[in-house]
């Protein structure tokens, strides 16, 4: 390895690259392909300069990126992305946050990783100085998005406040990087953030211990992996509620003890039939007024309800029942306190097979098609992955 000094765009000085460690075995180009967001739902594939890793950062060559429902929100509505103090539209911004890849270059002083390491990433690198970051809750960083102009608090959230993974390269803080086992596929490695979000909600924020009961409403990607994570943590029973039998079948394969079709049964009554006083934990991954109220009424006294969905409109729910029964209600965003590292440990040890939720893979050029499959659930898509290197996996599909 050695320092690489080449001619760069004006915004990327030779002096900056001279402090970066690269390898002749993995040359870094001057420019990369990247999808950028113009107007809402307007993505364009362009060439952008390859970003330069700074102190405590690495340059990651992105090999695969999964599509999250929040990516669809960012592309259509802008929120929760915040670029240069405002909406992300027409700012040369690249979305995408659930990616993995190979370390291509190391910033000054970085020796925790080596060029050539396969890594997956979590989204947030907090500012490190606010109250929440000091608690390890960097996904709740008080300085979210304050990293523009002369006001740079150090917060980074790739795909939300800085460029993300719908590109060939991205810069990541080393605290957001996790090594990927050799026997784990690129596609499965992109799912660590999804599993980590469930882990964070159940353990760090929820305090789940083995033997407690867990109900998951909504068998989407987070819901399915929430059931898997809960069972791996020793929850008993794990109950999964949904409306699609094929999704419920995947949930059973991931460890759910009981599945309930919400179209056919009274879900509150059925949960209480399995958990006499109600469930200890309910994770609502649907976020509708109906499911929020169901969550409250199927939770036992002193139990916990985790809201893992982002409803677009306010919902009314029975707050009186929640109060008199001492039910704890909390929201979750992201995967704080390094929950992704624990999720990776579970996945590496084969505690559950996250790849069961991966349904489709598309090449980088077909990102719009991949987004359509994810948005419209074409061919019952669950988790859609984009192979940035152009090597679509066995689960690829035509437009």
Q: 298 Cβ partners below 8 Å, 6+ apart?
A: 215, 267, 268, 271, 272, 278, 279, 282
- Gap between the Cα atoms of 125 and 160, Å rounded: 11
Residue 264 pLDDT: 94
Q: Does domain 2-123+158-190+353-387 have CATH number 3.90.180.10?
A: yes
Span between the terminal Cα atoms of the chain, in Å: 42
Q: Is 55 exposed, middle or buried (0-12, 13-18, 19+ CB in 10 A)?
A: exposed
Structure tokens that stand for 256 in this block: 């759910």
Where does CATH 3.90.180.10 sit in the chain?
2-123+158-190+353-387
Residue 311 pLDDT: 75
Q: 238 Cβ partners below 8 Å, 6+ apart?
A: 213, 214, 215, 216, 227, 230, 231, 255, 256, 257, 258
Q: What is the pLDDT along the chain (399 residues), one digit of tens a residue?
A: 333 333 334 444 555 887 888 888 899 999 999 999 999 999 999 999 999 999 999 999 999 999 999 999 999 999 999 999 999 999 999 999 999 999 999 999 999 999 999 999 999 999 999 999 998 889 999 999 999 888 889 899 999 999 999 999 999 999 999 999 999 999 999 999 999 999 999 998 888 999 999 999 999 999 999 999 999 999 999 999 999 999 999 999 999 999 999 999 999 999 999 998 999 999 999 989 999 999 999 999 999 999 998 777 888 989 999 999 999 999 887 787 888 999 999 999 999 999 999 999 999 999 999 999 999 999 999 999 999 974 445 454 443
- Gap between the Cα atoms of 35 and 164, Å rounded: 10
- How far CA 281 is from CA of 105, 150, 237, 318, in Å, comes to 43, 44, 11, 17
Residue 15 pLDDT: 52
Residue pair 373/367 in contact by the 8 Å Cβ criterion: no
What CATH fold (topology level) applies to the domain 199-331? Rossmann fold (3.40.50)
Where does CATH 3.40.50.720 sit in the chain?
199-331
- Gap between the Cα atoms of 351 and 232, Å rounded: 6
Residue 6 pLDDT: 37
Residue pair 213/281 in contact by the 8 Å Cβ criterion: yes
């Amino acid at each position: 390895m050695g320092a690489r000094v080449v001619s760069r765009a004006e915004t990327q000085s030779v002096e900056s690259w001279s402090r970066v460690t690269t390898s002749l075995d993995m040359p870094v180009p001057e420019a990369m392909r990247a999808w950028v967001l113009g107007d809402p739902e307007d993505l364009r594939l362009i060439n952008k300069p390859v970003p330069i890793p700074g102190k405590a950062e690495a340059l990651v060559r992105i090999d695969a990126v999964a599509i999250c429902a929040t990516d669809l929100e960012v592309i259509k509505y802008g929120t929760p992305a915040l670029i240069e103090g405002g909406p992300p539209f027409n700012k040369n911004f690249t979305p995408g946050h659930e990616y993995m890849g190979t370390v291509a270059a190391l910033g000054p002083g970085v020796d925790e990783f080596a060029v050539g390491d396969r890594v997956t990433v979590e989204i947030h690198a907090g500012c490190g100085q606010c109250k929440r970051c000091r608690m390890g809750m960097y996904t709740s960083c008080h300085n979210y998005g304050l990293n523009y102009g002369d006001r740079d608090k150090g917060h980074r959230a790739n795909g939300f406040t800085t460029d993300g993974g719908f590109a060939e390269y991205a810069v990541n803080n080393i605290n957001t990087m996790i090594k990927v086992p050799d026997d784990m596929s690129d596609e499965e490695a992109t799912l660590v953030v999804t599993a980590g979000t469930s882990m964070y909600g159940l353990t760090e924020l929820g305090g789940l211990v083995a033997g407690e009961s867990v109900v998951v409403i909504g068998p989407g990607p987070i819901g399915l992996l929430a059931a898997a994570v809960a069972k791996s943590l020793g929850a008993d029973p794990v109950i999964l509620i949904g409306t699609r039998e094929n999704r419920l079948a995947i949930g059973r394969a991931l460890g759910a003890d009981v599945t309930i079709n919400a179209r056919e049964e009274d879900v509150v009554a059925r949960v209480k039939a399995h958990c006499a006083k109600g469930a200890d934990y309910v994770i609502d991954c649907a976020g509708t007024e109906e499911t929020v109220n169901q969550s409250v009424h199927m939770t036992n006294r002193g139990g916990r309800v985790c809201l893992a969905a982002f409803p677009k409109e306010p919902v009314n729910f029975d707050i009186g029942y929640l109060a008199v029964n001492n039910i704890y209600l909390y929201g979750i965003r992201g995967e704080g306190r390094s929950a992704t590292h624990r999720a990776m440990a579970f996945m590496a040890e084969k505690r559950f097979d996250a790849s069961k939720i991966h349904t489709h893979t598309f090449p980088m050029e077909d990102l719009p098609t991949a987004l359509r499959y994810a948005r419209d659930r074409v061919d019952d898509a669950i988790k859609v992955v984009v192979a940035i290197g152009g090597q679509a996996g066995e689960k690829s599909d035509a437009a």
